[in-house]
Structures are given as structure tokens and as C-alpha cells.
Amino acid sequence: MVKKEPFKEMYIELFSTSEGIYAINSPVRVRILSMLRKGELSFDQLVELSGKAKSTVSVHLKRMVNEGIIGSKTNPSDARKKIFFIKSEYLGKLSGKKDVKEDIGKYVSSYVEGEGDPYEFFRLIFHTIRVSLIRQGIDIDPILYEAGVKVGETLYEKVKNPDINKLAENIAMFWESHNLGHVEVLKLEPLTINVTDCFECKSLPPIGRPACAFDSGILKAVFSAHFNDEQVVNETKCYALGDNLCSFTIKNKEW
């Protein structure tokens, strides 16, 4: 009897360049790109952090530069060396592991049998599409995040106020009036925002990670514009993690 091989989780990451979309399935390249998404790194740093031989890292870097996935520039502290950075758009990842087994039919039936709230209908559409993708191992969080950033840049003009407390109040009013959830500022240092009845994730099944990429993008854009400095949004609690609310911390990138 042939012994069944244990499941090995596989990831394929997708990057969009001016020449097209690249599917990256090499573990080394995935690791390098994961590090570069956090910020620019030198060749020596990439070698050290990846734990791979210089020759191996060099081959992968040259190939990705030629493909337009990453770029390089001269290291200002040493003209003989280079700094590498992401120059393509990260679209998401495909996973061979399917953790979500939710019966979408039950969720659809609950709407049909309800009162037919139009907001709930759009929430149903968003939920159904997203769960269907998650079930197939497709992660579109990076796309949702970038979409959120675009929305946030426009939204800022509607909610902006030099007083951060008033800004937060305007955001809360916008969320409330559009049935996006209930927003509460927990504290200002670091800026922490809680969202209950979150439209993006409340009806999602547990997936073991935060799921509010769209909201995170909106908050990043709004508060980056307010502080005139890039902010980093970290979701620390989420309905998709089993929490009873979503919580976001917004900090300066250099915090």
C-alpha cells in the first residue's frame, strides 16, 4: 500500500508589471519578495535574512530585475553595492490549502428569508465573492487594500479636520450613515480605532487572520493625509479571528 504524502502547503504569489502578470512559486523568490515588500534592502541584507548562498540570491535577483518585478539602485553609502526594492504591484497569493468550508447557500438563504435590506444585499455580494475566493485558496487582500487606499484618498476631502478628534468623529459619522459599522476611538497614543458590526468581515467565517484589508487601506490614506506623513495600519483584532470587534492601530511608519 502506497503511503500518502503529508500535505505541503504551497503558495504562488502574483505580481503585476508593465509587461504582464508573473506567478511566483519559487520559495526563495517568494521569501525575497516578502522581505522587500516591507522595505528596501541591500544585497547583503537579503542574503543574511534569506539564509541562502550569495550565488543563489544573486541569480534570483537578476531574474526578477529583468522581469520588472523588482528594481535596484546604487547604495548611497557604497557606490559598489545596490539597494533592491519592489517596482511591481503585489496582487495576492494562491494557496493549495483550503481552510474555509462555509455553506454559502445558507448565508444566501438567510438574506432571501429576511427583510431584504439593500445594504445587506451588497454585504451579501461582497461576502459571497470573498468567501468563494478564500475557499479556492485565493487571497485578494492586497487588491482590496489598494482599493481602500484609493477610496481613503477621496474620502479624506469629505471628513478632513485639523482636530484629530473631530476627524475621528467625521469618520465615525460616515461609517454609521453608510452602514459600514460603528467606529470608536479608543485612544490617541498610539491611535487606536475599534469598529463593531464591521461590514467587511463580521459575516466571514473564522480564517485565522485579520480580514479588513479594505478598511486598513482607507484608514492608512485618511491618516497619512491628516498627518502629512505615511502611516502604518495594523489590525490587531478582527471578527475573522474570532474577536467580537475589529481594532486598528495607526502609527507613524518610523514608530
Q: What is the pLDDT of residues 18-48, one digit of tens each?
A: 888 888 989 899 999 999 998 999 999 999 9
pLDDT given at position 35: 93
pLDDT given at position 202: 86
pLDDT given at position 118: 66
Query: Kind of pairing, strands 191-196 and 231-237?
Result: unpaired
Buried-state track 47-72, b at ≥16 Cβ within 10 A, e below 16: beebebeeeebeebbeebeeebbbbb
pLDDT given at position 193: 96
With CA atoms as reference, report the closest residue to 83 among 114, 42, 31, 51: 42
C-alpha dist (Å) from residue 172 to 97, 164, 169, 212, 238: 37, 12, 5, 16, 18
pLDDT given at position 33: 94
Q: Which residues contact 133 (CB under 8 A, 6 or more apart)?
A: 139, 140
For the chain, residues with pLDDT lower than 50 are 1-8, 104, 111
pLDDT given at position 175: 93
> What DSSP designation does 206 have?
P
pLDDT given at position 93: 79
